Amino acid sequence: MKHFKLGITVGIIAICFLTLGIMAPSTASAKITFVTIGTGGVTGVYYPTGGAISKIVNKKSKVYHLKVTVESTGGSVFNVNAIMSGDLDFGIVESSRQYQAWHGQMEWAKKGPQKNLRSICSFHPESVTIVAGDDTGIKTFRDLKGHHVNIGNPGSGQRGEAIELLTQAGIDWKKDIKAEGMKAVESAQMLQDGRIDAFFYTVGHPNGSIKEATAGKRKVHFVPIPDDIIMPLLKKHSYFAKAYIPIKFYPDATNKKDVPTIAVKATFCTSAKEPAWIVYDITKEIFDNLETFKKLHPALNVLTKKNMLTGLTAPIHPGALKYYRESGLIKYIPKSLISK
């Protein structure tokens, strides 16, 4: 009888605890996991793209016990290295830089292939954008020779593309131009102040910094990239694509029509060591809320679930693959990208 009464007492206490909202430790005391996305400069598209991801995921932080924060960084190379060292959980990386990191090229030539790098998806196309002052005499790409040009800070995507394009055009960036290594965010004011003649910026459009550059007192224009430079690079590298800079976004530029150029894609990366449940939850929220996601920045308007699986080199993280299998998107992914 005593055992029976004791059982009733324990049961009553348990019911009271539940009634008061005191849940089991596995639910009530579940800790929030914080993860960080490395982006780029605050005036670029990487930063608001990272912000769009965090906004969507953080709406369900109580469901996933996950909180996403965004960090402005020096760009693609920094993001890859920080992901590999564990200083960042995720990063937005140009498709060209993802390719080079995976294969151990360019900045990773000495370190070797970054085989722990994993891709998740891709976002907007990023056009190599060259802005020059009308008073400089720079009308064609090869006119950059002999001028003062900002090619971008070390570790940025635009620096890599600038060097590759200049080399393809027969221009030695160390000797034939006066190359600056400033961040893209500084370029607009430098151009307007007359301290540089032109600058490179690989970015999605529309872009605030480019608008600033075109809206000042100094008249400026976009420099077209001709086919004799573009086509060899398209044959050489799968991560490049032909593109145009839409003039409708920049009414103060002196160009009269869209400007031909070359583009890469912004890709979303992580490490093979990142827990699968975190990658799965973030991937699911991005794709399940794609229409909302696209409205958070004009550059994201072109996204479709299918084109978000292009431009990737590193194997896709198992957490993302789980979502792609469940949603039927796995059919769009090359077998070479399916990690085991």
User: Measured between alpha carbons, how far is 155 from 187 in angstroms, rounded to an integer?
Assistant: 16
Helix (H, G, I), strand (E, B) or coil at 235: helix
Residues with pLDDT less than 70, the chain: 1-29, 339-340
Query: Strand pairing partners for 200?
Result: 130
CATH fold of the domain at 126-264: D-Maltodextrin-Binding Protein; domain 2 (3.40.190)
For residue 157, the model assigns a pLDDT of 79
pLDDT at 4: 37
Domain ranges in the chain with CATH number 3.40.190.10 = 25-125+265-337, 126-264
Q: What's the DSSP call for residue 338?
A: B
Angle, CA of 264, 270 and 274, to the nearest 5°: 170
Top CATH class of 25-125+265-337 equals alpha beta
CB 35 within 8 A of CB 279: no
CA-CA distance, 293 to 197, in Å (whole number)?
Answer: 37
pLDDT value of residue 156: 83
* 55 burial level (CB within 10 Å; 0-12, 13-18, 19+): middle
